[in-house]
Amino acid sequence: MDAPRRTRRNAKTLRRTMSLPEVMLWIGLKARRLEGLHFRKQHPLGPYVLDFYCDARKLAVEVDGYAHDTDDRPRRDARRDAWLLAQGIRTLRIPAVEVLASVDDALATILASAGADPLRPSGPPPPKGEDLETPRQ
């Protein structure tokens, strides 16, 4: 799905001005560091900019600071989450204070929400020259 030019420009600006919790989380997400999952930061989608987005899992990760609990923000966030869900995208909201307390716990929460990839074998690759065993029938 494409995004309007204004949203794309906003995303570009947000990439340069990420908050400390967003930067901390990005360090753990970039370059497929989280179980090989590819995340984009400040990804424009429709009228919104998602803090982090994994297309393979249709998962948006939002780092919510204090402002998300004030005024009409909870209602706006709920409307945004509903719009994303209608597009087939789940939203995981992580409070910024939780990222600051333990980025590892935040990454574990993201990984649990993303689920394991059934097509990717777990564990280390087999030694060179050996194939994965195929089940015998």
- pLDDT (tens digit, 9 = 90+) per residue, 93-119? 999 999 999 999 999 999 999 984 433
Average pLDDT score over the chain? 83
**15 falls in which pLDDT band (50, 70, 90)?**
confident
40-45/59-64 β-pairing? unpaired
17-31: pLDDT as tens digits: 899 999 999 999 999
Dihedral, CA of residue 87, residue 90, residue 56 and residue 25, to nearest 10: 130
| Confidence at residue 115, expressed as pLDDT on a 0 to 100 scale | 84
Coil vs helix vs strand at 88 = coil
| Confidence at residue 127, expressed as pLDDT on a 0 to 100 scale | 53
Q: What is the CA radius of gyration of the chain?
A: 17
In this structure, is the dihedral angle defined by the CA atoms of residues 64, 26, 60 and 6, taken in order, positive or negative? positive
What is the H or E stretch that residue 54 is in?
A: strand 48-54
| Confidence at residue 84, expressed as pLDDT on a 0 to 100 scale | 95
| Domains, the chain, ordered by start | 5-112 (3.40.960.10)
d(CA 132, CA 74): 49
38-65: pLDDT as tens digits: 999 999 999 999 999 999 999 999 998 7
Return the amino acid letter for 101: A
Q: What is the DSSP letter of 102?
A: -
Is a pLDDT exceeding 80 seen at residue 131?
A: no
Is a pLDDT exceeding 60 seen at residue 129?
A: no
